[in-house]
Amino acid sequence: MTFSPFSSLFRTSTIRKQKIVRPATSPKNPSVAATVPGADEHQERTHAEIMVIITALMLAMLLAALDQTIVSTALPRIASDLHGLSKYSWVATAYLLTSAISTPLYGKISDMFGRKKIFQAAIIIFLVGSVLCGASQTMNQLIIFRGLQGIGAGGLIVLAMATVGDVVSPRERGKYQGYFGAVFAVSSVAGPLLGGLFTDHLSWRWVFYINLPIGVFALIAIATRLHLPVKRAKHKIDFTGAGLLALSVATLLLATVWGGIDYPWASIQIIGLFATSIISAILFVIREHYAKEPIIPLELFKESVFRVSSLLSFLVGMVMFGALIFLPEYQQLVRGDTATKSGLMLLPLVGGLMVASITSGRLISKFGRYRIFPVIGTALLPIAFWLFSHIAVGTSRVLLGVWMVVLGIGIGLVMPVLTLAVQNAVGRKYLGTATSVVTFFRSIGSSLGAAIFGAILTNRLAYHLDHTLPGHAGASVAKSLSSGAAGLKQLSPNTVHTVLTAFASSFHDVFLFGIPFAILAFITAQFLRETPLKSSTRDEAAGEGLEL
């Protein structure tokens, strides 16, 4: 994969040298940590140094984003080779669970002990997990090692975004975060494609081994070129709060993953998981109120920009993930496309997302204003979902491509801006924590969105089949389709047409039910407050009373 668009950015952009503030410990401000003895008070970064750091950060983010999708096309072969078809879903679930749980912890710990070493540790954990996944001999081993890989992945995206905040001023930050959004978009399509290519032409084990050269390069670049203040202050990690947060997130995600598939939504298992999640969340909030160094300081929620951005990240995560899951499913089930072709059909969405992310980032850096972009982006989301609610069996691919561009532009105008707005509002000492919370809410929104829209699709499909096929035929057809598109081969041509029409109507309903969530995101965006973007790290430090 080439990064030529990013290289051209580095060549054409004029980047002021950044000064790194190295504050001394103050009795009046114990949260400000001491630096390495003898270190210079200021250190200037050249254009070349920033270029290497940003490239390394993008590669680290690519690792985590790619591994969310690259395994999907390799899973059938993996399950067959390791004789673990019954544990198929756990390969993805283990990664999802551990990465979501660890995300807010990385943000807090990096604020406490410094970003660089924690970032390096996350990359190493991820690479070790990747090697072990590739060498797995049983399905149980693979599931355990995917969980380990997820622990590392939880820190890659959030620490990459937080480190941008350490090395680039808020005013310049927009253009870079736009490019990070483009990396995330590219990985959404490149993941399934690479997974299919490796599985068909090499081995599914290369799905994991490919992480090694990318990760090693990022690790070396960060070790040699990223120089941040090393903190020397005593801290106490809130293990009780971390445990309650992990329990709440784990039970919530398990409920959404198992609900309607392994257990009925009204079953005691799913209700028990949701109840445990709610109780644990309440206890977590109480704990954070009294903890000396909470995992998520509740005072952050007093800042309106942080509150609105977190909620908006949650809602856009629901909408975005719903589209990314069900558009390829429509292509495969209704249009009969292969997994590779259905991934390629997402290119218009990815193109719109990339153009919007990069353009909005550069405009933010130029004019110093960001609020207008989430407002416009969230206005496009209900329009895009309304367009997709007209989807049918014979919908033109060109028309689908145009609708995807609208959706991609909407998402691209929102997601990168939220991180920038939060980082600019909360100050440097909460940089990692605030960034991780916004990322965390997006992950939770994505998981809930997939569960909600999946339940809608299943229920509406049963409804449409029941009304189009006589007697018990609808139920028997629905059962034969449990294996996906392969089940269609067992049906007569007339029945296949009826079933495809029912599928198309169900996807229509999914997007129709998604419109209220998109409208809610638009309403929420109206409350996002514009705050002046600081033009240098000196301005950021001055806002916290630090000596320069």
Q: Is 368 left (phi over 0), alpha (psi -120 to 50) or beta?
A: left
Among residues 130, 267, 279, the alpha carbon closest in space to that of 211 is found at: 130
Q: Which residues pair with 259 in a beta bridge?
A: 263
| 413 in Cβ contact with 522 (< 8 Å) | no
Residue 236 burial class via C-beta count within 10 angstroms: exposed 0-12, middle 13-18, buried 19 and up:
exposed
As given in the structure block, the two tokens for residue 89 are 């879903």
Q: Can you give the pLDDT of all 548 residues of the chain as single tens digits?
A: 333 333 333 333 333 334 434 444 443 344 443 333 333 334 555 656 677 788 888 888 888 888 877 877 677 778 778 877 667 667 877 888 888 888 888 888 888 878 888 889 999 999 999 999 999 888 889 989 998 998 998 888 888 888 887 777 766 776 777 677 778 777 777 777 787 778 778 888 888 998 999 889 888 888 887 776 655 556 677 888 888 988 998 888 888 878 877 788 889 999 999 999 999 999 999 998 888 888 888 888 888 899 999 999 999 888 877 677 778 778 777 777 776 677 778 788 888 888 888 888 888 878 888 889 999 999 999 999 999 988 888 888 899 999 999 998 998 898 878 888 888 888 777 888 888 888 888 888 887 887 788 778 878 887 887 777 765 555 556 555 544 555 555 666 667 777 788 888 888 888 998 899 999 999 999 999 888 776 554 444 444 433 32
| 424 in Cβ contact with 537 (< 8 Å) | no
Q: Is 427 left (phi over 0), alpha (psi -120 to 50) or beta?
A: left
d(CA 243, CA 220): 33
Residue with tokens 């939770």, as numbered in its chain: 444
How many helices and strands in the chain, by DSSP H and E? 20, 0
| 424 in Cβ contact with 534 (< 8 Å) | yes
Alpha-carbon separation of residue 350 from 137, 173, 187, 320, 406 (angstroms): 36, 22, 9, 12, 10
3-state secondary structure labels for all residues of 79-148: HHHCCCHHHCCHHHHHHHHHHHHHHHHHHHHHHHHCHHHHHHHHHHHHHHHHHHHHCCCCHHHHHHHHHH
d(CA 34, CA 13): 34
Q: What share of the chain is helix, strand, coil (3-state, %, to 5)?
A: 75, 0, 25
Residue with tokens 């407002």, as numbered in its chain: 375
pTM beyond cutoff 0.85: no
Among residues 152, 129, 521, 151, the alpha carbon closest in space to that of 310 is found at: 521
Q: Per DSSP, which regions of 478-546 are E strands?
A: none
Residues whose CB is less than 8 angstroms from the CB of residue 224 and which lie 6 or more positions away in sequence, other chains included: none
d(CA 161, CA 457): 34
Query: For the segment 127-166, what is each residue's pLDDT rounded down to a tens digit?
Result: 999 999 999 888 889 989 998 998 998 888 888 888 887 7
Query: For the segment 357-402, what is each residue's pLDDT rounded down to a tens digit?
Result: 888 888 887 888 888 999 999 999 999 999 998 888 888 889 999 9
Residues whose CB is less than 8 angstroms from the CB of residue 200 and which lie 6 or more positions away in sequence, other chains included: none
